[in-house]
Chains A and B, each alone.
Chain A
Amino acid sequence: MDSTLKKGGNRRDFLYLTASAMGAVSVGSAVWPLVDSMNPAADTLAMASTEVDISKVEVGQAITAVWRGAPVFIRHRTAEEITSVRGDGWQHLRDPQKDEDRVKKAEWLIVKGVCTHLGCIPLGTKPGQPRGDFGGWFCPCHGSHYDISGRIRKGPAPKNLLVPTYEFVTDTLVRIG
C-alpha cells in the first residue's frame, strides 16, 4: 500500500515537473519574439556604420559627421597639437588614457561628439567656437573642458570623449562603426 502510494506520488511529481518545464519553455518561446521585435530592426542596424570622406579636411581643421544619429568629431591635428597631448602626466588625469591609445593615425582624432556628463554636444569643432582651457572642446552646458585628445581635464564630465570603432578604408575614407 505504502509503496504504491509512493509510486503514484513520484509519477505525479514527474508529470508536474515535466509539464511545468514544457510550459516555461513555451511561454519563453512565445514571449521572445514579442520582446525581440522591440530591438533595432534590420533597417536601423543597417545605419550602424557610416563612411566619411576626409580628403578635404585640412591640417588644423575639424568636421562633424553623423553616426547612429549622433555627431562624431574628426579633427586633422597639427604636429604641435599632437606633441601637447603626448608625454607624461596622463596617469593623473581623471580618466587616465594615453593619446597613443586613442588614435590609429596620430594626425586624425576621431571621437564621439557627446559630452560624457549629461549628453550635450561640446563646442570646438567649427572655427570660431570656444575650445576651452586645454585647446580641445568646451561643453557649454556645465563647463566641461576636453583637451586635443578628447580627454576630460576640467569640469563635471567623468569620462573622456568616446572613441568609436573605426577603420581607414583608404587614406581618405574612414568607416565609423
Chain B
Amino acid sequence: MSGRLTLAAFRRSASWTGLRARVGDGIRRGVVSLPVVLVYGVGALTFIKVGQPSRHVEFWLILGGGVLVAAWTVLVLVSLLRRRPRGHGAQLLDRHHQLHGRLSNALEFSEIPAEQQSPLMRVAISDALERVQKLSPRGAAPFPIPRELGIVALLTAGLVAVALLEVRVQRYVPPPPNNFKPMVMTGDDLELFKDLATEMQNQGDDPETLAAVRRFNQLIEDISQRRLERREVFQRLANLERDLTKAGEAEREASEEGLEGLAHELEKADLSKPVADALKEKRLADAEKAMQELAEKLKNKRQPPSKAQLERLRKSLERASKASSERSQSLLEQKEELEKEKKRLLDKKKKGEELSKSEQKKLDQLDRQLERLDREKQKSERAQKQMSELDKKLAEAAQDLMKAQQGAGASAEDLQSAAEDLNRMAKKEMTEQQKQELLKRLQEMREILRQQGAGGQKRMQRMMRFGQRARGQGQPGGDPGGQQGEGQGQGEGQEGQGQGQGQGQGQVMPMLVPGQGGGQIPMAGEGSGQGQGQGQGQGKDGDQPGGGGLGGGKQWGNGHDDKLAGDGTQLKAQTKDVVAAGVDTGEGNASSEVIYGAAQRGFVGRGYQKVYTDYQTVAERVMNQDEIPPGYRFYVRRYFQLIRPRE
C-alpha cells in the first residue's frame, strides 16, 4: 500500500486547505471592496488636483481616504483572522476530490477514542484511507481571481495616472510684499533742514563738525529722495548723534573740570578774581579779556599793584598751575594706597585664610573705590592735557613774578600768552557749540519725524498743505475745518439796527504727542465742525441798511428808508483820473495786520520777515532766560520753524 495517505496527512492537508481558504477569503473580500477605496481615491485626487480646494477641504478629503483605507485593511484582516469552523478544510477537500464526506467523517471519527468507536466508524475510516490517494489543498482552496480584479486594475491605473498627471492651474501668485516704506518728510521741513545745514556748514571751520554736517546733509538728501525707511533714518540719526556726543563729551567734561580748578585757585587773589569769575561761568571770551586786562595792569607802571597783591597773585598762579597735576598726583597716591590694601586682603585670601565679613565688605568697597579713582584719574589726566599749555604759562608767570621784584613786565607777557591760550580754548568751545547746535537740530529732526510717524498719512497731508499755503501757494479761502464761534454784531445806521448771529459747533480732537522729556503733551489735533449763521437787520428811516456784525448776519435787513428814491446821479460832475504809485517805505501796516495778512496769504514778504524776526528773537530770549519744560521748548521752536518766512 505504498503511497497511501495517513490520518496525519489528512489533518495536515485539511489544515493547510483551511488556511488557504482563509487567505483566499481575505483576497476575495479585499479585491471586492477595493474598488470603493480606489474610486474614492481617484475622485478625491482629481478634485484636489483640478479643483484646488482649500487646505481645510483637502485635509478632510485625505482624512476620508485614510478612514476608507483603514476600514478596508480591517475588513481584510478580519477575513484573514476570522475563526473558521472545525473541519472546514476537510469539507473543502471532500468536495474537491468528490469524496462525499469520507475525509471529514474519517477525521471526525478518528478523534473519538478507539474504545468508543463503532465498527462502522472504523470501517468508514478504513474506507477513507483506502480511497483517498491524493489530496490537493491548492485545488480544494484555490486563491480566487474575483471578477472585480479587472476593475481594481483599471482603477489603480487611473489612480496612478491621476497622481502622475500634472494639472497646470493658473494660480494668482501675489507679488512679494513690498515692505519698503520710505520715510517721508514734507518739502517744507526738508527745505528747513537743508537751510540749517547750509548755515552750519558756512559757519563751521572744524573738520569734525563739517564732516558731521556733511553726513547730516546726506541724510536729508536721502530722505528727500525717499531712499530710506523710517527705521534706517532713525538709525542714522542715532549714529550721527552718538558720534557727535561721544567725541566731545569726555573732552568737554575734562576741560570744564580743569577750568573750574583753575578758577578756584585764581579767585583767591584780588587781581585774578575777574578772570576766575569768568572762568567759573565758562565765559572764556570774557576770561581772556580779563586776563588781558590783568596783563595790562601788571604792565602799568603808573599804578602798579601792591607787593601783597602781587604775592597773592603769584601764589594763586602757582597753585593754579599745579592744581591739575596735583590732583592727578593725589589721585595716584590714593589709588596706590587702596591697591596696597586690596593686595593685602587678596594675599590673605590666597593663603586660604578666610576673610571676615567686614574684610570681605572692605574688599568690595575697595574694588568700587578703585574703579571710581580710575575714572577720576583718567578725567584728571585729560584735563591736565587740555590745560597743559595754560598751566605752563601760568607757572611761568608765577616764576616771573617771583623774579620780577624789579618789574612785572615778563609776567604780563606770560599772562598775555595765557590769554591767547584761553582764546584758543574759547574757539574750541565755539566748535563745541556748533556741535551742540547740530545735535539740537538732529534731535529736532528726530522729534519731527517721530511726530509725523505718529500722526500718519493725514498729518503728512495736512503739513504738506500747510507748507504750500505757507509759501502763499495755497488757497487762502480754503475750508478752515473746525471753525466755531458765535458772533454778534451791530451795524448802526442812522436809524437802523442790524443784528447777526453766527452759531457753530465744532469738535477738536485732542491729541497726545510725545515730548522731548519723555512725557506727553496735549496738542490740538484735527478738527471738524459745522457752522450756521443767521442775520437780521432792521432799517428804519436810516440812510444805510442795517448790516450784520463781524462774522455775523448773512441775511439782509428787512427795513427800508421811507425815501425810497434817492437823488439822481450828478452826471455833470467834474472828474479827473489820478494815478498813484505805492512806495514801500518800510513803514507799512502794523504787526497785527502783517500777521493777519501772512495767515491769509502765506509767510512771505519783507514785512512779515521783520515781524517774524522780532517775535522769534523775543521767544528765543525768553526760552533762554525762563525755565521752560524741554518738551514745550521744542514746540515753541517748532512753531517758529513752521511760521518762518519763506522766499
Question: Do A and B come together as binding partners?
Answer: no
